[in-house]
């Protein structure tokens, strides 16, 4: 487990360093994801401990947003003043984005013959 | 009076404990577990969102105890820090499901560009229609991407990064709540498309929801979140300069 954590942190660190050194607008952790992916491709398999640690982290991803989310307490005044506009923007834009993304994905998928295998289909 | 002895003692212990990470770290995880428990009890209904419950409980606790946010965050930052390694960990499901991912390269690319531009323009546009201040509107531009990235973008374009963090959280919760009914309504059965859409629109919280429902959906959501972080970082400064 420690080795797996070390691997994740090392990729993140390398990503942060690359982003700084090359002046890329891409965030360090995202470069770290790409680096880890390349390492896995080169090795051809996922170590068991890394799979377990990753699964645990991703299964609890939403917990990791809680501390920053509590920061809402600092913005209650602003939210009180502009809540309607912010709520409309956030809700409207989120729903619209999902609809546009899913329809474009499905449309291009059909056009290019990259449609989902039956095993990739779920509800509805 | 015994209370004269006990009350100052409790006060001392409270002051001692709350100045250390332990209390706020423990309380953060406890609040989330309560949220999870309620979510399970409600039959895993998306409207009962564990993050929303945890945040409401913690905000109430900070208000009741008169604790300022910085004190709280000093403790809870250990949880916050894990966002970085968790983002890196997305490489694992990506590698595991790479054959499906490669087949869907074109649909993903198209949905990424369309979704990313829609997210930015519609958030800023709707906010401006409602007469929201410029500073606040700008803080909304990167609402659909994961928190560390979004805060960086907002700083770059002159918004309020900590307000962005809040808006990002709310966006994630809304995405997680509406994705299942919305996709069922649109009659979309393709797990790849469902996952990708929720990942583009609502980053990690949407991805967490997708992983709860289906691994393929979760994988595509994770990819969408990572790609949208990059796309938004490039596009927000461009689009905002066009609006000026």
> Which candidate from A26, A92, A94 shows the least CB-CB separation from B233?
A26
State the DSSP string of A40-94. HHHH-S--HHHHHHHHHHHHTGGGGGHHHHGGGGGGHHHHHHHHHHHHHHHHHHH
CA atoms of B177 and B169, how far apart (whole Å)? 12
Cβ separation of B182 and A51 shorter than 8 Å? no
Burial of B134 from C-beta contacts in 10 A (0-12 / 13-18 / 19+): middle
Confidence (pLDDT) at B242: 79
More confident residue, B186 or B215: B186
A22 contact B CB<8A: no
B84 contact A CB<8A: yes
pTM recorded for the entire structure: 0.84
Confidence (pLDDT) at B87: 86
Q: Of A84-98, B12-26, B208-222, B230-244, which has the strongest mean pLDDT?
A: A84-98
What is the ipTM, given to two decimal places? 0.86
Confidence (pLDDT) at B110: 97
Restricting to A residues 45-74, those with a Cβ less than 8 Å away from any Cβ of B are: 46, 50-51, 53-55, 57-74
pLDDT at A26 over 80: no
Q: Phi/psi class of residue B66: alpha, beta or left (left: φ > 0; alpha: ψ in -120 to 50)?
A: left
- Coil, strand or helix: which one is B53? helix
> Which candidate from B51, B130, B165 shows the least CB-CB separation from A88?
B130
Helix then strand then coil, % of chain B, to nearest 5: 85, 0, 15
Provide φ and ψ at B190, rounded to 5°: -80, 110
pLDDT category, B3, cuts 50, 70, 90?
Answer: low
> Which candidate from A69, A98, A103 shows the least CB-CB separation from B198?
A98
A83 contact B CB<8A: no
Mean pLDDT estimate for chain B: 90
Start-to-end CA distance of chain A, whole Å, equals 39
> Which candidate from A26, A53, A123 shows the least CB-CB separation from B230?
A26
B213 contact A CB<8A: yes
Confidence (pLDDT) at B15: 76
Ranking A12-16, B129-133, B147-151, B188-192 by mean pLDDT, the lowest is: B147-151
- Coil, strand or helix: which one is B190? strand
The structure tokens listed for B221 are 């959501």
B158 contact A CB<8A: no
Restricting to B residues 41-60, those with a Cβ less than 8 Å away from any Cβ of A are: 50-51, 54-55, 58-59
Burial of A16 from C-beta contacts in 10 A (0-12 / 13-18 / 19+): middle
Question: Closest Cα to residue A123, out of B175, B186, B112, B136?
Answer: B186
Q: Which residue has the tokens 């502009």?
A: A82
The whole-number average pLDDT for the span A39-59 is: 93
Ranking A57-66, B72-81, B173-182 by mean pLDDT, the lowest is: A57-66
Q: How many CB atoms lie within 10 A of CB B179?
A: 28
pLDDT at B181 over 60: yes
The whole-number average pLDDT for the span B166-178 is: 94
- Min Cα–Cα distance to chain A from B53, Å: 10
CA atoms of A62 and A66, how far apart (whole Å)? 7
CA atoms of B92 and A47, how far apart (whole Å)? 10
pLDDT at A41 over 70: yes
pLDDT category, A98, cuts 50, 70, 90?
Answer: very high
pLDDT in tens, B106-116: 999 999 999 99
Confidence (pLDDT) at A18: 94
Confidence (pLDDT) at B28: 96
Confidence (pLDDT) at B25: 93
The whole-number average pLDDT for the span B187-209 is: 94
Cβ separation of A61 and B211 shorter than 8 Å? yes
pLDDT in tens, A51-91: 999 989 988 888 999 999 999 999 998 888 899 999 999 99
pLDDT at B59 over 70: yes
pLDDT category, B156, cuts 50, 70, 90?
Answer: confident
Buried b (16+ CB within 10 A) or exposed e, A61-100: bbbbbbbbbbbbbbbeebbeebeebbebbbebbbbbbbbb
> Which candidate from A37, A51, A109 shows the least CB-CB separation from B107?
A109
Chain B residues closer than 8 Å to A73 by CB: 59, 62-63, 69
CA atoms within 13 A on the CB side of B30: 9
Chain B residues closer than 8 Å to A54 by CB: 89, 91-93
Provide φ and ψ at B214, rounded to 5°: -165, 140
Mean pLDDT estimate for chain A: 89
Confidence (pLDDT) at A8: 96
Confidence (pLDDT) at A15: 94
The whole-number average pLDDT for the span B125-134 is: 94
> Which candidate from A59, A63, A112 shows the least CB-CB separation from B106?
A112
pLDDT category, A122, cuts 50, 70, 90?
Answer: low
Ranking A22-26, B1-5, B20-24, B220-224 by mean pLDDT, the lowest is: B1-5
Question: Closest Cα to residue B19, out of B91, B64, B71, B54?
Answer: B71
A118 contact B CB<8A: no
pLDDT at A104 over 60: yes
Confidence (pLDDT) at B234: 84
Cβ separation of A61 and B86 shorter than 8 Å? yes
Residue of B nearest to A75 (CA): B163
Task: Please say whether the beta carbons of B60 and B49 come within 8 A.
Answer: no
Task: Please say whether the beta carbons of B167 and A86 come within 8 A.
Answer: yes
pLDDT category, A123, cuts 50, 70, 90?
Answer: low
């Amino acid at each position: 487990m420690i080795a797996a954590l070390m691997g994740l942190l090392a990729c993140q660190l390398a990503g942060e360093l690359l982003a700084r050194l090359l002046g890329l607008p891409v965030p360090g952790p995202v470069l770290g994801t790409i680096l880890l992916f390349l390492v896995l491709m080169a090795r051809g398999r996922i170590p068991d401990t890394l799979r377990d640690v990753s699964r645990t982290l991703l299964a609890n991803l939403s917990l990791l947003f809680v501390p920053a989310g509590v920061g809402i307490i600092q913005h209650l005044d602003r939210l009180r003043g502009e809540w309607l506009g912010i709520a409309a923007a956030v809700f409207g834009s989120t729903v619209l984005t999902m609809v546009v993304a899913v329809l474009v994905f499905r449309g291009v998928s059909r056009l290019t013959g990259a449609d989902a295998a039956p095993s990739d289909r779920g509800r509805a | 009076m015994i209370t004269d002895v006990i009350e100052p003692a409790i006060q001392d212990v409270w002051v001692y404990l709350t100045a250390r990470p332990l209390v706020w770290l423990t309380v953060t995880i406890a609040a989330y577990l309560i949220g999870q428990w309620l979510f399970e009890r409600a039959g895993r209904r998306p409207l009962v969102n564990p993050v929303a419950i945890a945040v409401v409980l913690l905000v109430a606790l900070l208000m009741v105890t008169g604790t300022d946010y910085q004190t709280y965050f000093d403790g809870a930052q250990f949880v916050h820090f894990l966002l970085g390694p968790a983002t890196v960990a997305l490489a694992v499901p990506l590698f595991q499901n790479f054959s499906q991912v490669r087949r869907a390269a074109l649909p993903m690319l198209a949905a990424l560009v369309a979704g990313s531009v829609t997210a930015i323009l519609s958030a800023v546009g709707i906010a401006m229609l409602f007469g929201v201040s410029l500073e606040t509107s700008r803080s909304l531009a990167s609402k659909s991407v994961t928190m560390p990235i979004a805060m960086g973008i907002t700083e770059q374009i002159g918004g309020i990064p900590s307000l962005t963090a809040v808006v990002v959280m709310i966006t994630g919760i809304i995405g997680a709540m509406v994705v299942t009914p919305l996709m069922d309504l649109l009659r979309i059965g393709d797990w790849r498309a469902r996952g990708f859409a929720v990942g583009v629109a609502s980053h990690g919280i949407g991805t967490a929801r997708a992983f709860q429902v289906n691994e393929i959906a979760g994988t595509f959501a994770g990819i969408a979140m990572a790609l949208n972080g990059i796309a938004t970082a490039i596009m927000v400064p461009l689009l905002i300069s066009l609006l000026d």
